[in-house]
A and B are shown apart, each in its own frame.
Chain A
């Protein structure tokens, strides 16, 4: 049931206009791209590497690589998607260097089928974020997402934290769309399961530890 895509000439996006100026050697245009996306790249890098210094390196290396390979960017995707792909690869390399005892790849931990099935079904408090102060909540969320395998964490961060579409996530990670969807489902279910114990409704009066 595919719809016929009309072949309408899209107006050049603001992003692509900057990319083209940068390709012609306009460094101010490239700097504008850096400003536009450095926060996102930093977040993604820190989620993957789980280390602030590594994330800082990744931001610098990813933009430098983008700059020096700009003429190879074919404009078939958004510049941002292309940049994320570079940044994810840099971040995974850092992670492998730091944790050489573990094989780190986007394919890890995808073999077992049942690890994400809900084991505990408990309703959460209506406003779970408000059960903790900001620092506590940050700690809970950080530790919980850090416990996910890198392959799941990366898909979840791109899709649900950064808001890339499924297609963009697939492009950025060089995965198929079904592979993205399957990892995303399991990442979401695993996070939910791990957050259960922090966010479930507390029985009134009962010591609920």
Chain B
């Protein structure tokens, strides 16, 4: 297996979306190819870091304001009836 072939399957490998035979081939490649091992490992870390990052959390006060605004608009929409189109 070439490194480019490994890279093509990297997303499926990380997502556990491979049949046993393909996974075994990729594992075999990782066992001797240090570069692919590092790319695979650091890509996995990239995903983990972003998944746990809690960027852009909605603050409670803003959340309360948004929820109120949404329900007020929905209620106004209901009163005005569905659009005529």
Contact of A123 with B by CB under 8 A: yes
Interface string of B1-45 (1 = CB under 8 A from A): 000000110111011010000000000000000010011011101
The residues of A with any CB-CB pair to B shorter than 8 Å are: 25, 27, 30-31, 34-35, 38-39, 42-43, 46-47, 55-56, 59-60, 63-64, 67-68, 117-118, 121-124, 128-129, 137-138, 141-142, 145, 156, 160-161, 163, 166, 181, 184-185, 188-189, 191-192, 195-196, 199
Assembled-state Cα–Cα distance A156/B78 (Å): 36
Min CB–CB distance B42 → chain A (angstroms): 5
The residues of B with any CB-CB pair to A shorter than 8 Å are: 7-8, 10-12, 14-15, 17, 35, 38-39, 41-43, 45-47, 49-53, 55-58, 62-63, 66-67, 69-71, 73-75, 77-78, 82-83
Q: Do A141 and B42 form a contact, CB below 8 Å, given A38-B66, A68-B82?
A: no
Question: Which B residues are CB-close (under 8 A) to A34?
Answer: 67, 70-71
Instruction: Give the interface SS of chain B, mostly helix, strand, loop or mixed.
Output: helix
| Contact assessment for B11 and A118 in the assembled complex, using a CB-CB cutoff below 8 Å | no
B47 contacts which of A60, A67, A160 (Cβ < 8 Å)? A160
| Contact assessment for A192 and B43 in the assembled complex, using a CB-CB cutoff below 8 Å | yes
Min CB–CB distance A135 → chain B (angstroms): 12
Shortest 10 CB-CB distances between A and B: which pairs?
Answer: A185-B11, A46-B56, A42-B58, A67-B74, A192-B46, A63-B70, A121-B35, A43-B56, A192-B43, A39-B58
